[in-house]
Structure 1
Amino acid sequence: MARRLAPALTAAASLALAALAAPCAPPAAADPGPGRALGDRALVYAATARFQVHANAVAAGYKPDQYCVVDKAGTGALGYPHFNHKYDNSVDPAKPAALFYEDDGRGGKRLVAVQWLVYDRDQKVTTDDDRPTMFGTAFQGPRPGNFPGQPVHYALHMWLWKKNPGGLFKTFNQAVNCLPGTTRPKPAA
Protein backbone atom coordinates (compact mmCIF):
# COMPACT_ATOMS: atom_id res chain seq x y z
CA MET A 1 0.00 0.00 0.00
CA ALA A 2 2.82 2.43 0.77
CA ARG A 3 4.31 1.81 -2.66
CA ARG A 4 1.05 2.76 -4.39
CA LEU A 5 0.68 5.97 -2.41
CA ALA A 6 4.30 7.11 -2.84
CA PRO A 7 3.93 8.25 -6.50
CA ALA A 8 0.83 10.27 -5.60
CA LEU A 9 2.56 11.97 -2.70
CA THR A 10 5.61 12.66 -4.86
CA ALA A 11 3.40 14.27 -7.52
CA ALA A 12 1.63 16.39 -4.91
CA ALA A 13 4.92 17.56 -3.40
CA SER A 14 6.36 18.38 -6.84
CA LEU A 15 3.33 20.49 -7.74
CA ALA A 16 3.43 22.28 -4.41
CA LEU A 17 7.10 23.16 -4.91
CA ALA A 18 6.45 24.28 -8.49
CA ALA A 19 3.65 26.52 -7.29
CA LEU A 20 5.90 28.14 -4.72
CA ALA A 21 8.60 28.74 -7.31
CA ALA A 22 6.19 30.20 -9.91
CA PRO A 23 6.26 33.99 -10.24
CA CYS A 24 3.11 35.33 -8.73
CA ALA A 25 1.79 38.84 -9.20
CA PRO A 26 -0.81 40.16 -6.76
CA PRO A 27 -4.10 38.57 -7.89
CA ALA A 28 -6.93 40.67 -9.28
CA ALA A 29 -10.29 40.24 -7.58
CA ALA A 30 -11.93 38.40 -10.49
CA ASP A 31 -8.89 36.54 -11.83
CA PRO A 32 -6.48 34.99 -9.34
CA GLY A 33 -3.89 34.50 -12.09
CA PRO A 34 -1.94 31.45 -13.18
CA GLY A 35 0.33 31.36 -10.12
CA ARG A 36 -2.62 31.15 -7.76
CA ALA A 37 -4.38 28.53 -9.92
CA LEU A 38 -1.23 26.38 -9.96
CA GLY A 39 -0.84 26.71 -6.21
CA ASP A 40 -4.49 25.81 -5.64
CA ARG A 41 -4.10 22.79 -7.90
CA ALA A 42 -1.12 21.65 -5.81
CA LEU A 43 -3.32 21.96 -2.71
CA VAL A 44 -5.88 19.62 -4.30
CA TYR A 45 -3.19 17.05 -5.08
CA ALA A 46 -1.84 17.23 -1.55
CA ALA A 47 -5.29 17.08 0.09
CA THR A 48 -6.55 14.15 -2.00
CA ALA A 49 -3.41 12.00 -2.37
CA ARG A 50 -4.39 9.93 0.68
CA PHE A 51 -7.73 9.14 -0.99
CA GLN A 52 -5.89 7.01 -3.54
CA VAL A 53 -6.53 4.40 -0.87
CA HIS A 54 -10.31 4.04 -1.11
CA ALA A 55 -10.74 3.15 2.56
CA ASN A 56 -9.18 6.50 3.54
CA ALA A 57 -11.88 8.39 1.63
CA VAL A 58 -14.65 6.41 3.29
CA ALA A 59 -13.04 6.94 6.72
CA ALA A 60 -12.89 10.71 5.98
CA GLY A 61 -16.67 10.84 5.45
CA TYR A 62 -17.00 10.39 1.68
CA LYS A 63 -20.08 8.17 1.22
CA PRO A 64 -19.85 5.89 -1.82
CA ASP A 65 -22.70 5.56 -4.28
CA GLN A 66 -23.15 1.97 -5.42
CA TYR A 67 -23.69 3.01 -9.04
CA CYS A 68 -21.24 4.16 -11.70
CA VAL A 69 -22.44 7.34 -13.47
CA VAL A 70 -22.41 7.37 -17.28
CA ASP A 71 -23.14 10.24 -19.62
CA LYS A 72 -26.55 9.57 -21.17
CA ALA A 73 -25.26 11.24 -24.36
CA GLY A 74 -22.59 8.55 -24.60
CA THR A 75 -19.52 10.76 -24.16
CA GLY A 76 -17.95 8.82 -21.30
CA ALA A 77 -18.55 8.53 -17.59
CA LEU A 78 -17.82 10.05 -14.20
CA GLY A 79 -17.25 6.82 -12.32
CA TYR A 80 -18.50 6.10 -8.81
CA PRO A 81 -19.31 9.30 -6.87
CA HIS A 82 -18.43 9.58 -3.20
CA PHE A 83 -20.00 12.63 -1.54
CA ASN A 84 -19.08 14.38 1.68
CA HIS A 85 -21.94 16.86 2.09
CA LYS A 86 -20.01 18.61 4.85
CA TYR A 87 -18.10 20.21 1.96
CA ASP A 88 -21.11 21.30 -0.09
CA ASN A 89 -20.64 25.01 -0.91
CA SER A 90 -16.87 24.74 -0.42
CA VAL A 91 -14.61 26.70 -2.74
CA ASP A 92 -11.58 25.55 -0.77
CA PRO A 93 -9.28 23.57 -3.10
CA ALA A 94 -8.49 21.18 -0.24
CA LYS A 95 -12.17 20.37 0.44
CA PRO A 96 -13.95 18.97 -2.62
CA ALA A 97 -17.54 17.86 -2.01
CA ALA A 98 -17.12 14.72 -4.13
CA LEU A 99 -14.51 12.22 -5.19
CA PHE A 100 -14.94 9.98 -8.24
CA TYR A 101 -13.52 6.48 -8.56
CA GLU A 102 -13.33 3.91 -11.33
CA ASP A 103 -12.90 0.15 -11.13
CA ASP A 104 -9.20 -0.68 -11.04
CA GLY A 105 -9.52 -4.06 -12.76
CA ARG A 106 -8.51 -5.93 -9.59
CA GLY A 107 -11.72 -5.58 -7.60
CA GLY A 108 -10.83 -2.22 -6.07
CA LYS A 109 -11.37 1.46 -6.83
CA ARG A 110 -8.96 4.04 -8.29
CA LEU A 111 -9.41 7.78 -7.64
CA VAL A 112 -9.81 9.68 -10.92
CA ALA A 113 -11.50 13.04 -10.24
CA VAL A 114 -12.80 15.52 -7.68
CA GLN A 115 -15.75 17.92 -7.70
CA TRP A 116 -16.86 21.06 -5.90
CA LEU A 117 -20.57 21.79 -5.55
CA VAL A 118 -22.03 25.21 -4.69
CA TYR A 119 -25.76 25.86 -4.25
CA ASP A 120 -27.32 28.57 -6.40
CA ARG A 121 -28.36 31.50 -4.24
CA ASP A 122 -31.81 32.13 -5.80
CA GLN A 123 -32.45 28.49 -6.83
CA LYS A 124 -33.30 29.54 -10.40
CA VAL A 125 -31.59 27.84 -13.34
CA THR A 126 -32.26 30.97 -15.43
CA THR A 127 -29.92 33.27 -13.46
CA ASP A 128 -26.19 32.95 -12.86
CA ASP A 129 -25.05 36.15 -11.16
CA ASP A 130 -23.54 34.11 -8.31
CA ARG A 131 -21.46 31.70 -10.45
CA PRO A 132 -18.29 30.75 -8.52
CA THR A 133 -14.84 30.25 -10.04
CA MET A 134 -11.78 28.27 -9.00
CA PHE A 135 -8.46 27.74 -10.78
CA GLY A 136 -9.45 30.60 -13.10
CA THR A 137 -12.37 28.46 -14.35
CA ALA A 138 -16.08 29.16 -13.97
CA PHE A 139 -18.26 26.46 -12.44
CA GLN A 140 -20.86 24.85 -14.73
CA GLY A 141 -24.51 25.51 -14.10
CA PRO A 142 -26.73 26.42 -12.49
CA ARG A 143 -28.31 23.03 -12.98
CA PRO A 144 -31.20 21.25 -11.27
CA GLY A 145 -30.45 18.70 -8.58
CA ASN A 146 -29.47 15.21 -9.68
CA PHE A 147 -31.55 13.50 -7.01
CA PRO A 148 -34.59 14.42 -4.87
CA GLY A 149 -33.70 17.12 -2.35
CA GLN A 150 -30.50 18.30 -4.07
CA PRO A 151 -30.73 22.06 -4.65
CA VAL A 152 -30.08 23.90 -7.90
CA HIS A 153 -26.30 24.13 -7.96
CA TYR A 154 -23.06 24.87 -9.76
CA ALA A 155 -20.40 22.19 -10.16
CA LEU A 156 -16.74 22.07 -11.11
CA HIS A 157 -15.11 18.73 -11.96
CA MET A 158 -11.36 18.32 -12.04
CA TRP A 159 -9.77 15.25 -13.61
CA LEU A 160 -6.79 15.40 -11.34
CA TRP A 161 -5.86 11.73 -11.11
CA LYS A 162 -6.77 10.55 -14.63
CA LYS A 163 -6.22 12.46 -17.86
CA ASN A 164 -9.44 13.50 -19.57
CA PRO A 165 -9.04 13.79 -23.36
CA GLY A 166 -11.83 16.40 -23.28
CA GLY A 167 -10.03 18.64 -20.79
CA LEU A 168 -9.16 18.99 -17.13
CA PHE A 169 -12.52 20.54 -16.15
CA LYS A 170 -14.86 18.67 -18.52
CA THR A 171 -17.75 16.92 -16.75
CA PHE A 172 -17.49 13.48 -18.37
CA ASN A 173 -14.35 11.56 -19.31
CA GLN A 174 -14.27 9.35 -22.42
CA ALA A 175 -11.44 7.34 -20.84
CA VAL A 176 -13.65 6.23 -17.91
CA ASN A 177 -15.91 3.22 -18.41
CA CYS A 178 -18.56 1.70 -16.20
CA LEU A 179 -18.52 -2.09 -16.00
CA PRO A 180 -21.68 -3.87 -17.19
CA GLY A 181 -24.30 -4.03 -14.43
CA THR A 182 -22.79 -1.19 -12.37
CA THR A 183 -24.96 1.70 -13.59
CA ARG A 184 -28.21 2.86 -12.00
CA PRO A 185 -31.17 0.88 -13.37
CA LYS A 186 -33.66 2.85 -15.46
CA PRO A 187 -36.93 3.53 -13.61
CA ALA A 188 -39.82 1.30 -14.64
CA ALA A 189 -42.11 3.06 -17.11
Structure 2
Amino acid sequence: MSLRSRTAGAVLALAVPFALAAVPADAAPVPVADPFIWTDLTPTYTATTDYQYEPFAITDGYTPTGGCAHDAQTGKGGSGYHYINAANIGSLDPAEPAGLLYETDSDGGRALVGVEWIVRAGTGSAAPTLFGQTFQGPAELDGVGSVYTLHAWIWKDNPSGLFAPWNPMVTCS
Protein backbone atom coordinates (compact mmCIF):
# COMPACT_ATOMS: atom_id res chain seq x y z
CA MET A 1 0.00 0.00 0.00
CA SER A 2 1.43 3.35 -0.97
CA LEU A 3 1.83 6.26 1.42
CA ARG A 4 -0.68 8.22 -0.68
CA SER A 5 -3.43 5.59 -0.32
CA ARG A 6 -2.77 5.23 3.42
CA THR A 7 -2.97 9.02 3.85
CA ALA A 8 -6.17 9.23 1.81
CA GLY A 9 -7.69 6.44 3.90
CA ALA A 10 -6.76 8.19 7.14
CA VAL A 11 -8.22 11.47 5.94
CA LEU A 12 -11.45 9.75 4.93
CA ALA A 13 -11.63 7.90 8.26
CA LEU A 14 -11.31 11.21 10.11
CA ALA A 15 -13.64 13.19 7.82
CA VAL A 16 -16.62 10.80 7.75
CA PRO A 17 -17.45 10.98 11.49
CA PHE A 18 -17.35 14.80 11.34
CA ALA A 19 -19.61 14.83 8.29
CA LEU A 20 -22.07 12.42 9.89
CA ALA A 21 -22.09 14.30 13.19
CA ALA A 22 -22.84 17.58 11.43
CA VAL A 23 -26.51 16.75 10.84
CA PRO A 24 -28.85 15.54 13.61
CA ALA A 25 -30.41 12.16 12.76
CA ASP A 26 -33.97 13.54 13.02
CA ALA A 27 -33.39 16.70 10.95
CA ALA A 28 -33.20 17.25 7.23
CA PRO A 29 -29.70 18.34 6.24
CA VAL A 30 -29.27 22.04 5.52
CA PRO A 31 -27.16 22.45 2.40
CA VAL A 32 -23.91 24.38 2.70
CA ALA A 33 -22.48 25.89 -0.48
CA ASP A 34 -19.02 24.37 0.00
CA PRO A 35 -18.96 20.62 0.76
CA PHE A 36 -15.43 21.00 2.18
CA ILE A 37 -16.45 23.66 4.70
CA TRP A 38 -15.51 21.40 7.62
CA THR A 39 -11.95 21.35 6.31
CA ASP A 40 -11.99 25.15 6.14
CA LEU A 41 -13.20 25.24 9.75
CA THR A 42 -10.36 23.03 11.04
CA PRO A 43 -8.29 26.05 12.21
CA THR A 44 -11.35 27.29 14.11
CA TYR A 45 -11.78 23.96 15.90
CA THR A 46 -8.10 23.84 16.73
CA ALA A 47 -8.03 27.43 18.03
CA THR A 48 -11.14 27.05 20.21
CA THR A 49 -10.83 23.50 21.57
CA ASP A 50 -9.37 24.70 24.89
CA TYR A 51 -12.26 27.13 25.32
CA GLN A 52 -14.64 24.26 25.98
CA TYR A 53 -13.34 24.91 29.48
CA GLU A 54 -14.72 28.45 29.97
CA PRO A 55 -11.99 29.73 32.36
CA PHE A 56 -9.40 29.28 29.58
CA ALA A 57 -11.40 31.65 27.35
CA ILE A 58 -11.41 34.32 30.07
CA THR A 59 -7.68 33.86 30.66
CA ASP A 60 -7.07 34.38 26.93
CA GLY A 61 -8.96 37.69 26.82
CA TYR A 62 -12.57 36.72 26.11
CA THR A 63 -14.92 38.78 28.27
CA PRO A 64 -18.56 37.85 29.00
CA THR A 65 -20.88 40.53 27.61
CA GLY A 66 -24.01 39.94 29.64
CA GLY A 67 -27.04 37.72 29.56
CA CYS A 68 -28.01 34.92 27.26
CA ALA A 69 -29.25 36.11 23.87
CA HIS A 70 -32.39 34.55 22.45
CA ASP A 71 -34.89 35.56 19.78
CA ALA A 72 -38.05 36.02 21.83
CA GLN A 73 -39.91 37.81 19.01
CA THR A 74 -39.81 35.17 16.28
CA GLY A 75 -38.81 32.11 18.29
CA LYS A 76 -35.86 31.19 16.05
CA GLY A 77 -33.79 30.08 19.04
CA GLY A 78 -30.84 31.45 20.93
CA SER A 79 -27.26 32.41 20.39
CA GLY A 80 -26.26 31.97 24.01
CA TYR A 81 -23.85 33.86 26.22
CA HIS A 82 -21.37 35.92 24.20
CA TYR A 83 -17.73 36.24 25.21
CA ILE A 84 -15.84 38.83 23.15
CA ASN A 85 -12.10 39.26 22.61
CA ALA A 86 -11.74 42.91 21.52
CA ALA A 87 -8.32 42.18 19.97
CA ASN A 88 -10.00 39.88 17.42
CA ILE A 89 -12.73 42.29 16.30
CA GLY A 90 -12.21 42.85 12.59
CA SER A 91 -10.33 39.59 12.04
CA LEU A 92 -11.37 37.36 9.14
CA ASP A 93 -8.87 34.71 10.21
CA PRO A 94 -10.66 31.38 10.83
CA ALA A 95 -8.39 30.82 13.86
CA GLU A 96 -9.28 34.19 15.47
CA PRO A 97 -13.02 34.50 16.03
CA ALA A 98 -13.88 37.60 18.06
CA GLY A 99 -16.69 35.86 19.92
CA LEU A 100 -17.35 32.59 21.66
CA LEU A 101 -20.93 31.39 22.22
CA TYR A 102 -21.84 29.43 25.34
CA GLU A 103 -24.98 27.97 26.86
CA THR A 104 -25.66 26.69 30.36
CA ASP A 105 -24.85 22.98 30.61
CA SER A 106 -26.57 20.36 32.77
CA ASP A 107 -24.16 21.03 35.66
CA GLY A 108 -24.86 24.78 35.69
CA GLY A 109 -21.55 25.61 33.98
CA ARG A 110 -20.97 26.92 30.48
CA ALA A 111 -20.71 24.75 27.37
CA LEU A 112 -19.13 26.11 24.19
CA VAL A 113 -21.63 25.86 21.31
CA GLY A 114 -20.27 28.16 18.60
CA VAL A 115 -18.05 31.00 17.53
CA GLU A 116 -18.62 34.42 15.99
CA TRP A 117 -16.59 36.76 13.80
CA ILE A 118 -17.30 40.46 14.32
CA VAL A 119 -16.32 43.23 11.89
CA ARG A 120 -17.09 46.91 12.38
CA ALA A 121 -19.53 48.29 9.81
CA GLY A 122 -18.20 51.53 8.39
CA THR A 123 -20.32 54.04 6.53
CA GLY A 124 -21.12 52.57 3.14
CA SER A 125 -19.09 49.40 3.76
CA ALA A 126 -20.37 46.13 2.39
CA ALA A 127 -20.77 43.08 4.58
CA PRO A 128 -17.62 40.92 4.46
CA THR A 129 -17.60 37.24 3.56
CA LEU A 130 -15.87 34.27 5.15
CA PHE A 131 -16.22 30.58 4.23
CA GLY A 132 -18.33 31.73 1.27
CA GLN A 133 -20.89 33.21 3.68
CA THR A 134 -21.92 36.87 3.82
CA PHE A 135 -21.96 38.32 7.33
CA GLN A 136 -25.31 39.34 8.88
CA GLY A 137 -26.06 42.92 9.83
CA PRO A 138 -25.23 45.59 10.42
CA ALA A 139 -26.43 45.52 14.02
CA GLU A 140 -25.49 47.48 17.12
CA LEU A 141 -23.13 45.81 19.57
CA ASP A 142 -22.79 47.42 23.00
CA GLY A 143 -19.39 49.03 23.41
CA VAL A 144 -18.40 48.43 19.78
CA GLY A 145 -21.01 50.17 17.62
CA SER A 146 -22.36 49.02 14.28
CA VAL A 147 -21.03 45.60 13.26
CA TYR A 148 -21.43 42.71 10.87
CA THR A 149 -21.38 39.21 12.40
CA LEU A 150 -21.02 35.63 11.27
CA HIS A 151 -21.85 32.72 13.58
CA ALA A 152 -20.55 29.18 13.12
CA TRP A 153 -22.21 26.47 15.20
CA ILE A 154 -19.21 24.16 15.30
CA TRP A 155 -19.67 22.78 18.81
CA LYS A 156 -23.45 22.17 18.71
CA ASP A 157 -25.61 21.09 15.80
CA ASN A 158 -27.95 23.70 14.37
CA PRO A 159 -30.89 22.45 12.29
CA SER A 160 -31.24 26.01 10.92
CA GLY A 161 -27.78 25.78 9.34
CA LEU A 162 -24.13 25.89 10.26
CA PHE A 163 -23.94 29.68 9.79
CA ALA A 164 -27.47 30.70 10.90
CA PRO A 165 -27.63 33.61 13.37
CA TRP A 166 -29.92 31.70 15.76
CA ASN A 167 -29.89 28.08 16.89
CA PRO A 168 -33.21 26.53 18.01
CA MET A 169 -31.22 23.97 20.01
CA VAL A 170 -29.63 26.69 22.19
CA THR A 171 -31.71 27.68 25.19
CA CYS A 172 -31.37 30.36 27.81
CA SER A 173 -32.07 29.11 31.32
Q: Is the 8 A contact 1:37 1:134 kept in 2?
A: no
Q: Distance between the aligned counterparts of 1:35 and 1:164, measured in 2?
A: 17
- Does structure 1 residue 146 correspond to structure 2 residue 147? no
Find the counterpart in structure 1 of residue 28 from structure 2: none
Post-superposition shift, 1:131? Answer: 1.9
Q: Is the 8 A contact 1:88 1:116 kept in 2?
A: yes
- Over 3 Å counting, the alpha-carbon distance change for 1:135 and 1:107 in structure 2 is same
Q: Is the 8 A contact 1:79 1:100 kept in 2?
A: yes
Find the counterpart in structure 1 of residue 53 from structure 2: 53
SS of the equivalent of 1:46 reads helix
Unaligned runs of 5+ in 1: 1-13, 19-32, 180-189
Post-superposition shift, 1:38? Answer: 4.1
Cα deviation digits, residues 11-61 of structure 1 (max 9, x gap): xxx46xx9xxxxxxxxxxxxxx94874443011011111111111111111
Q: Normalized against structure 1, the TM-score is what?
A: 0.69
Find the counterpart in structure 2 of residue 96 from structure 1: 97
Find the counterpart in structure 2 of residue 171 from structure 1: 165
Q: Is the 8 A contact 2:141 2:147 kept in 1?
A: no
Q: Is the 8 A contact 1:36 1:135 kept in 2?
A: no
Pairwise mapping of residues 40-189 of structure 1 onto structure 2 (< 5 A)? 40-73=40-73, 74-122=75-123, 127=124, 129-143=125-139, 145-147=140-142, 149-179=143-173
Moved over 2 A (4+): 33-40
Post-superposition shift, 1:84? Answer: 0.5
Q: Distance between the aligned counterparts of 1:38 and 1:92, measured in 2?
A: 15
Post-superposition shift, 1:171? Answer: 0.6
- Give the letter for the 2:80 counterpart: G
Pairwise mapping of residues 6-25 of structure 1 onto structure 2 (< 5 A)? 14=14
Q: Is the 8 A contact 1:38 1:135 kept in 2?
A: no
Q: Normalized against structure 2, the TM-score is what?
A: 0.75
Q: Give the number of equivalent residue pairs.
A: 143
Q: Distance between the aligned counterparts of 2:93 and 2:126, measured in 1?
A: 17
Find the counterpart in structure 1 of residue 25 from structure 2: none
- The answer to which structure, 1 or 2, has the higher relative contact order (CA under 8 A, 6+ apart) is 2
Tell me how large the CA RMSD over aligned residues is: 2.0
Q: Distance between the aligned counterparts of 2:141 and 2:55, measured in 1?
A: 25
Post-superposition shift, 1:71? Answer: 0.9
- Give the letter for the 1:172 counterpart: W
Q: Is the 8 A contact 2:81 2:101 kept in 1?
A: yes
